[in-house]
């Protein structure tokens, strides 16, 4: 395990409206690894992700990409950071006035400065990767939730991010549409994309994640390999949280899905 | 009745046609400047820094809060007496009217644009910034195109108002439709006929404008931003 560390998050503190949402959070992600953030809602998972690309600037602490600490006060450094860190949102946030193709293309032209043809080619490649090449002319209003989320993945990937942040990418989807998005995420993991994902899909992510980070009240209270934290006799917070979730879902068990890479 | 048509044909229409051109030369630039002011002021009032927001809010209150006639009097009659050092700006009647209409219309337009901007979900702005767009790029290429579509019916409404309040230009000596009509009515003493035809001219202008606005709405229509709801 001597992959280089791509993203380092150190001692992040974030207070919103007098309430401490993140309380001294630190972790690091190595190249090609997937870290999964788990925990009850309000634990600070989304805020943590938003702090990493400074959409919600941390009050204190350091974010380093490729070993270089980001100066949150420098506009130039912020824009450069965001180009290299992709983000997937729970409610997709596609640009409603642009076709699927233009959703992917717009930042390639405006941010990366590609000419229109190169941008179109790249955008079509990414749409094909998420299985939506034939939907490129459709507008968000004409796409299903799962398709919208796949367009948003294509949009993020087109920027060649070093890290992808996923904020509950399947939470806003109808159950029958979750699968198509999870498949895309699994393909990315197989291809070695470095990712940090907040999710409630515990058994799915257990098969992909290198480490689980269990968050509660703004702190990471447990961390470890999924197999270790989810072991039936581990007595971990993660295990009991997962058991509660699966009880609510009615499938009555909480364990690691069979290895998908085999 | 025959007499009416003869008089309309020989006297009213030739007189008003001369004023019509003047009116169009007022309305077109004033509405274009009005929309431009509305879009910039509307966007700055939503996304600008605090002092700019305060200043522009004051602009809108001032121009929505005072009668347009008073504003026109100011631009035409009072402005020449406002001296800054040795310099005083004297506007021709046409320019005073265009400036007056554009600033007043812009104040109203900015409200429609502001409403449109606020109707666009914040998430899209976050997504644009997460891709590395500058705040300016995010607003101009993501939020404004959508806000403008949502605001278009209101903006069109304001342009139609502008066509009609352009008739106020006649009180600062512009020989527009209303101005020409009034002179003719005075000299011929045939108020009824003249002002009926003047009204019909405005009705025609508004009808053409509504038609053009409908075309614009259709042209900008995309799925999710339909002008009709089924």
In a domain, B133, yes or no: yes
pLDDT in tens, A93-103: 999 999 999 99
Q: What's the mean pLDDT in A164-182? A: 91
Task: For residue B176, give every residue at least 6 positions away whose Cβ sits within 8 Å of its Cβ, in sequence order, or none.
Answer: B19, B22, B23, B26, B166, B167, B169, B170
> Is the predicted pLDDT of residue B229 greater than 80, yes or no?
no
Closest by Cα among B119, B177, B173, B174 to B144: B119
pLDDT in tens, B87-139: 888 999 999 999 999 999 999 999 999 999 999 988 999 999 999 999 999 99
3-state secondary structure of A214: strand
Verify whether the Cβ–Cβ distance B126 to A89 is below 8 Å. Answer: yes
- Picking from A83, A93, A156, the nearest residue to B124 by CB comes out as A93
- Contact list in A for residue B146 (CB cut-off 8 A) is 95-97
Structure confidence at residue B10 (pLDDT):
83
Task: List the CATH number of the domain containing B200.
Answer: 1.10.3720.10
Q: What's the mean pLDDT in A245-256? A: 66
Closest by Cα among B170, B180, B166 to B100: B166
Closest by Cα among A262, A259, A168 to A207: A259
In a domain, B230, yes or no: no
In a domain, B94, yes or no: yes
Q: What's the mean pLDDT in A149-172? A: 94
Verify whether the Cβ–Cβ distance B131 to A83 is below 8 Å. Answer: yes
Whether A186 and A262 have beta carbons less than 8 Å apart is answered as: no
B225 to chain A: closest CA residue: A97
pLDDT tier at A253 (50, 70, 90 boundaries)? low
Task: For residue A63, give every residue at least 6 positions away whose Cβ sits within 8 Å of its Cβ, in sequence order, or none.
Answer: A7, A8, A9, A10, A12, A51, A52, A54, A69, A70, A72, A81
Verify whether the Cβ–Cβ distance B127 to A95 is below 8 Å. Answer: yes
User: What are the structural domain ranges in chain A?
Assistant: 5-94+163-249
User: Token pair of A115, please?
Assistant: 């000419």
Burial code of B49-69, b = ≥16 C-beta within 10 A, e = fewer?
eeeeeeebeebbeebeeeebe
Structure confidence at residue A105 (pLDDT):
96
> Is the predicted pLDDT of residue B69 greater than 60, yes or no?
yes
Q: What's the mean pLDDT in B58-79? A: 96
CA distance A37 to A33: 13
pLDDT in tens, A203-237: 888 888 999 999 999 999 999 898 888 887 787 88
User: Token pair of B168, please?
Assistant: 């106020």
Structure confidence at residue A242 (pLDDT):
84
pLDDT in tens, A11-33: 999 999 889 999 999 999 999 99
pLDDT tier at A261 (50, 70, 90 boundaries)? very low
Complex confidence, ipTM:
0.89
Q: What residues are paired with A177 via a beta bridge?
A: none
Structure confidence at residue A262 (pLDDT):
39
CA distance A68 to A162: 13
B119 in contact with chain A, both atoms CB, cutoff 8 A: no
A56 to chain B: closest CA residue: B126
Dihedral angle at the C-alpha atoms of B62, B63, B69, B72, nearest 10 degrees?
100
In a domain, B170, yes or no: yes
Structure confidence at residue A256 (pLDDT):
56
Higher confidence at residue B123 or residue B4?
B123
- Contact list in A for residue B149 (CB cut-off 8 A) is 97
- Picking from B123, B141, B224, the nearest residue to A106 by CB comes out as B141
In a domain, B226, yes or no: no
pLDDT in tens, A114-137: 999 999 999 999 999 999 999 999
- Picking from B124, B129, B137, the nearest residue to A95 by CB comes out as B124
CA distance A126 to A14: 35
In a domain, B201, yes or no: yes
Verify whether the Cβ–Cβ distance B123 to A91 is below 8 Å. Answer: yes
Tell me how many residue pairs between chain A and chain B have CB atoms under 8 A apart. 73
Q: What residues are paired with A12 via a beta bridge?
A: A25
Q: Is A5-94+163-249 CATH 3.40.190.10?
A: no
3-state DSSP: chain A helix, strand, coil percent, rounded to 5? 40, 25, 40
Higher confidence at residue B164 or residue A230?
B164
Q: What is the 3-state secondary structure (H, E, C) of A5-66?
A: EEEEEEEEEEEECCEEEEEEEEEEEECCCEEEEECCCCCCHHHHHHHHCCCCCCCEEEEEEC
pLDDT in tens, B141-162: 999 999 999 999 999 999 999 9
B67 in contact with chain A, both atoms CB, cutoff 8 A: no
Verify whether the Cβ–Cβ distance A159 to B132 is below 8 Å. Answer: yes
In a domain, B44, yes or no: yes
- Picking from B127, B129, B223, the nearest residue to A139 by CB comes out as B223
Total of domains in chain B? 1
Q: Residue B159 sits in which domain range?
A: 2-219
CA distance B4 to B12: 10
Min distance A38 CA to chain B CA atoms (Å): 22
- Contact list in B for residue A155 (CB cut-off 8 A) is 127, 131
B121 in contact with chain A, both atoms CB, cutoff 8 A: yes
Verify whether the Cβ–Cβ distance A152 to B126 is below 8 Å. Answer: no
- Picking from A53, A107, A140, the nearest residue to B133 by CB comes out as A107
| Residue found under tokens 């914040």 | B122
Task: For residue A261, give every residue at least 6 positions away whose Cβ sits within 8 Å of its Cβ, in sequence order, or none.
Answer: A190
B219 in contact with chain A, both atoms CB, cutoff 8 A: no
In a domain, B105, yes or no: yes
Q: What integer best gives the mean pLDDT of chain A?
A: 90
Query: Length of chain B in residues, anyone?
Result: 230
Verify whether the Cβ–Cβ distance A97 to B149 is below 8 Å. Answer: yes
Higher confidence at residue A86 or residue B84?
A86
B127 to chain A: closest CA residue: A93
């Amino acid at each position: 395990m001597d992959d280089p560390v791509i993203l380092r998050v150190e001692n992040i503190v974030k207070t919103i409206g007098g309430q401490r949402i993140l309380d001294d959070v630190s972790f690091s992600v190595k190249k090609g690894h997937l870290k999964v953030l788990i925990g009850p809602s309000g634990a600070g998972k989304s805020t943590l992700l938003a702090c990493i690309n400074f959409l919600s600037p941390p009050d204190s602490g350091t974010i380093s990409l490729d070993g270089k600490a980001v100066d949150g006060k420098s506009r130039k450094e912020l824009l450069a950071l965001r180009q290299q860190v992709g983000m997937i949102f729970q409610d997709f946030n596609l640009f409603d006035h642009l076709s699927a193709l233009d959703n992917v293309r717009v930042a390639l032209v405006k941010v990366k400065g590609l000419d229109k043809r190169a941008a179109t080619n790249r955008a079509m490649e990414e749409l094909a990767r998420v299985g939506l090449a034939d939907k490129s002319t459709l507008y968000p209003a004409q796409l299903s939730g799962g398709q919208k989320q796949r367009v948003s993945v294509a949009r993020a990937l087109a920027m060649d991010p070093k890290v992808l942040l996923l904020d509950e990418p399947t939470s806003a989807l109808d159950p029958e549409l979750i699968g198509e998005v999870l498949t895309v995420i699994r393909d990315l993991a197989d291809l070695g994309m470095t990712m940090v994902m907040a999710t409630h899909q515990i058994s799915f992510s257990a098969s992909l994640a290198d480490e689980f980070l269990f968050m509660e009240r703004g702190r990471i209270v447990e961390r470890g390999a999924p197999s270790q934290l989810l072991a039936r006799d581990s007595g971990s917070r993660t295990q009991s949280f997962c058991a509660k979730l699966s009880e609510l879902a009615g499938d009555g068990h909480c364990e690691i899905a069979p290895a998908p890479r085999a | 009745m025959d007499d009416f048509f003869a008089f309309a044909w020989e006297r009213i229409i030739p007189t008003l046609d001369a004023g019509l051109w003047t009116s169009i030369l007022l309305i077109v630039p004033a509405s274009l400047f009005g929309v431009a002011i509305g879009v910039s002021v509307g966007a700055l009032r939503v996304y600008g820094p605090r002092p700019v927001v305060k200043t522009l809010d004051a602009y809108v209150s001032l121009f929505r809060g005072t009668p347009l006639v008073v504003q026109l009097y100011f631009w035409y009659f009072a402005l020449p007496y406002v001296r800054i050092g040795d310099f005083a700006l004297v506007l021709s009647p046409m320019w005073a009217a265009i400036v007056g209409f554009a600033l007043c219309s812009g104040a109203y337009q900015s409200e429609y644009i502001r409403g449109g901007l606020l109707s666009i979900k914040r998430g899209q702005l976050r997504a644009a910034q997460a891709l590395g767009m500058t705040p300016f790029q995010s607003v101009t290429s993501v939020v404004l195109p959508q806000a403008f579509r949502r605001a278009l019916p209101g903006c069109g409404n304001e342009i139609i108002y502008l066509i009609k309040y352009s008739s106020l230009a006649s009180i600062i000596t512009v020989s527009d439709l209303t101005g020409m009509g009034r002179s003719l009515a005075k000299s011929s003493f045939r108020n009824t006929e003249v002002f009926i035809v003047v009204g019909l001219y405005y009705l025609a202008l508004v009808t053409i404008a509504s038609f053009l606005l409908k075309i614009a709405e259709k042209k900008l229509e995309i799925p999710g931003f339909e002008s009709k709801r089924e």
